[in-house]
Structure 1
Amino acid sequence: MYWHACQKHQEQRHYEDWNDSWQRIGAQGLPGDLTWEEFMAAHSGRRQNIANTRPLELMTRSGGSLLLPRAYAELLDRWEQVTEDLVVQARTCSRCRAQGPRWGAWRTPSPLGYVTLCPPCSGATFQRYTGHLRGVLYESARTRSTRADGYLCRLCSEARAAAWDHCHDHGHVRGPLCGSCNTYEGKSLPPSFLTNQEGAALHLLECRGCLERRTLPARYHAALARMHVEATERHIIRSRRCKHMPWIEHVELAHGAYRFELSCWWHKATWTKDVTVAETAGLVREFVDQALAGEQAGAAVPAPRRPASDTTVQALRPPRT
């Protein structure tokens, strides 16, 4: 309902007039200006359900109220209570009985299955990694003889580690990670990992090859170039620099440069921006130097910033009107 109310709100107004009025219950008893007829028409033919039932087919309208059969309401109440009991059980630390986050962030694997351990209990149960495998190859006998699940996850410091994370470019061990953090590093979008995961850059630099070369794995190079373009690139509209961040639709490496296709939704403008491999290497090295300087100073690692040598905005195609 809220999604449809938001869509109706935005379709009837210019984007500069958008606000949060669609979130408030309106005169029809639904969010915003949404009417029951519009909502039912939008859902005709869809097979959406709650607890394997279809509530829309059971709803009736009486005046300004929506009514459900009493037996169905009781079914939903029982279903909600069972779900809540399972959530409480899954979020309760099995040792100190502390209540953790609702969505199971304290869940950790064990030889007998998943258990819930709060960060203090995990820290007391599993040892912290101190870098004793730094510089060791992942395929070495030394790594194979050392179990990762005896350590605390190096990134989140809350769950038991499940595997030795390693650099696929140089083959060196980076540290023990839990299943969630290991999957996040390997399968998430590189910009997301670099900006949302605390300590991400320093973890990647646990690879001796990356550290000595002052670089990051190759899959992060395009990400840093993209973050740089998002932060610095704007098109010109009526002799002024647009204030909106552009949308990057595509990136490819061709002829020694990363080519980004950008568009501005507000002004229907499209253009391209090239960042050469040499420029990207400079951005990567600057990011690494900032990360190492932040580690020495004990401060948070800053996000990639615009270098002093950055050029002005390229000549653009005239925006479509």
Structure 2
Amino acid sequence: MPISREYARSLFAELTQSAAVPLDPDELLHMPHLRQHGHVLFGDVAVRCYKHRGRWVYDERDIRAAGRAFAEMVVDLDDVVEVELPAYRAVPERDPEEQRRPDWRRRLGSWMFRRAYEQLVEQGRHYDEWGSWRAIKPNGLPGELTWEEFVASSSKHRSTQNIAGTRPLQLLTWSGENWLLPRAYTDLLDRWERREEDLVNLARLCSSCGEQGPYWGNWRTPTTSGYVTRCPSCSGASFQPYTGHLRGVQYETLRRRGTRADDYLCRLCRASQASAWDHCHEHGYVRGPLCGSCNTREGTGVPYYFLQIEGAVLHLLECRGCLEQRTLPRRFHSDVVRTHLEQNERHGRCRKQPYVRELEHAHGVHRFRLECSGWHATGTWTKDVTAPEATALVRALVAAELGGSG
């Protein structure tokens, strides 16, 4: 029987309220690896996600089975094993595909190193003053990090408190020489690594030709019945490329005609079946067919990141109103300015690109905060950009994109 995500979460929480392993039932709401393999995992227990009448649901039997498994799991808190966490590794040293593979020890260690780094940045200290911040101190943590500060910081973000739907920091202890976890719990996480890997590898296979796709799920396409895996070649053979023949048509007119978007390839990624007609909410014109992922990035994602996608600005200019006015939808304007400031503003003679965020927008002025405090103790300043200046930067971007497309 299909049940809603909300009911599934409530039922699972009720069934596991006395479980020996600390769990996070909210995983059933967030479904963090939905696109990658279509399951929510609690340890090695995989709960499949279904699409029913346009909504993601679960099978009640699966939820009850998962709940019983954890309610009956025995964990001897006195039977512990040493946990050896890997040393710090800079991101450029990692293989992108290897970095995404499940590794609970590496993830625990990365939480600690990341927080130690963030702590020094927040203190506004010059990089030269950091010393050997990656060195492990007598409390088992890097830099100046304390256990209390680490736990408090981790509790603020889902990405730094959950592994496989469980909360390891509630079981992790420091003996004075080693990190310790209950043996039954480490066995569970080891099984999770293998289960996650198996699910991802199965979901990587093109459903038509069997070719293996990228580890991070780029070939996974959202459909009305859920995600399917199609390689670009099979998608290209199955769906029509969009040629811009609906440019200048109002979205409401298209809806009345009942023209289907899922006959086409996504105009933006050109690798997945489209699922919706994207349109400009300010002018009402159709832009083109997009897959569910690209449509979400444009409609509800962070504008700054959408603008980084190749072809994103030209896609927005498929709207006749935006094209004729040489502009973009208003929600993108401040992020166009942000990108411009990142590329052109510098702190004194520093060559490092600053981190930029908007503080406020009032009385026609955008105020931004710029930081390169990771390199300079006083590397923080503000920049005001007026509405006419923002408009000019948007026009300059549009002109550059149109010039480059010609």
TM-score of the superposed pair, with normalisation by structure 1: 0.72
* 1:232 positional shift: 3.9
Q: Which letter does structure 2 place at the counterpart of 1:184?
A: R
Structure 1 counterpart of 2:366, from 245, 256, 259: 259
* 1:67 positional shift: 4.9
Choose 1 or 2 for highest CA Rg.
1
Q: What secondary structure, in the 3-state scheme, does the structure 2 residue paired with 1:140 have?
A: helix
* 1:139 positional shift: 0.7
Cross-structure match for 2:261? 148
Unaligned segments of structure 1, at least 5 residues: 297-321
Q: What secondary structure, in the 3-state scheme, does the structure 2 residue paired with 1:139 have?
A: helix
Cross-structure match for 2:23? none
* 1:202 positional shift: 0.9
Find the aligned partners of 2:181 and 2:362 in 1 and give their Cα distance. Answer: 57
Change (3 A) 1:56 1:132: closer
Deviations 1:236-273 (A, max 9, x none): xxxx566563644423152xx33314355542765452
Change (3 A) 1:189 1:27: closer
Moved more, 165-174 or 240-249: 240-249
Change (3 A) 1:105 1:43: same
1:83 partnered with 2:191 = no
* 1:134 positional shift: 0.8
- Contact kept? 1:92, 1:98, Cα under 8 Å: yes
Matches within 5 A, 1:1-321: 1-8=109-116, 11=120, 14-17=125-128, 22-23=133-134, 26=136, 30=140, 32=142, 38-39=146-147, 42-43=150-151, 50-51=163-164, 55=168, 64-141=177-254, 144-194=257-307, 196-233=308-345, 245=354, 247-254=356-363, 257-262=364-369, 264=371, 265=373, 266-267=377-378, 270-277=381-388, 279-296=389-406
Moved >6 Å (runs of 4+): 60-63
Q: Which letter does structure 2 place at the counterpart of 1:216?
A: L
Find the aligned partners of 2:321 and 2:367 in 1 and give their Cα distance. Answer: 29
Q: What secondary structure, in the 3-state scheme, does the structure 2 residue paired with 1:108 have?
A: strand
Unaligned segments of structure 2, at least 5 residues: 1-108, 156-160
Deviations 1:195-242 (A, max 9, x none): x2110111111112222222222222333234334444457xxxx566
Higher relative contact order (CA 8 A, sep 6+): 2
* 1:115 positional shift: 1.1
Q: What secondary structure, in the 3-state scheme, does the structure 1 residue paired with 2:396 have?
A: helix
- Contact kept? 1:160, 1:178, Cα under 8 Å: yes
Change (3 A) 1:63 1:8: closer
Moved more, 264-273 or 206-215: 264-273
Deviations 1:58-115 (A, max 9, x none): 6677785445554443333323222221111222211222222223222213454321
> Identity, % of aligned pairs?
50
- Contact kept? 2:140, 2:174, Cα under 8 Å: no
Find the aligned partners of 1:68 and 1:226 in 2 and give their Cα distance. Answer: 44
Change (3 A) 1:76 1:181: same
Find the aligned partners of 1:89 and 1:147 in 2 and give their Cα distance. Answer: 30
- Contact kept? 1:162, 1:177, Cα under 8 Å: yes
Deviations 1:131-185 (A, max 9, x none): 1101111111576321001101000111110110111121111100011111111
Q: What secondary structure, in the 3-state scheme, does the structure 2 residue paired with 1:149 have?
A: coil
Count of residue correspondences: 284
Q: What secondary structure, in the 3-state scheme, does the structure 2 residue paired with 1:150 have?
A: coil
* 1:32 positional shift: 3.9
* 1:54 positional shift: 5.8
* 1:186 positional shift: 1.4
Change (3 A) 1:152 1:143: farther
- Contact kept? 1:262, 1:273, Cα under 8 Å: no
- Contact kept? 1:263, 1:270, Cα under 8 Å: yes
Q: What secondary structure, in the 3-state scheme, does the structure 1 residue paired with 2:288 have?
A: strand
Moved more, 79-88 or 171-180: 79-88
Find the aligned partners of 2:302 and 2:355 in 1 and give their Cα distance. Answer: 18
Change (3 A) 1:260 1:115: same
* 1:53 positional shift: 5.6
Q: What secondary structure, in the 3-state scheme, does the structure 2 residue paired with 1:158 have?
A: coil
Deviations 1:280-302 (A, max 9, x none): 33322221121111111xxxxxx
* 1:126 positional shift: 0.9
Find the aligned partners of 1:287 and 1:171 in 2 and give their Cα distance. Answer: 22
Change (3 A) 1:122 1:28: farther
User: What is the RMSD computed on CA atoms of the aligned residues?
Assistant: 3.6
Find the aligned partners of 1:215 and 1:191 in 2 and give their Cα distance. Answer: 16
* 1:29 positional shift: 10
Q: What secondary structure, in the 3-state scheme, does the structure 2 residue paired with 1:81 have?
A: helix
Q: Which letter does structure 2 place at the counterpart of 1:17?
A: D
Q: What secondary structure, in the 3-state scheme, does the structure 2 residue paired with 1:228 have?
A: helix
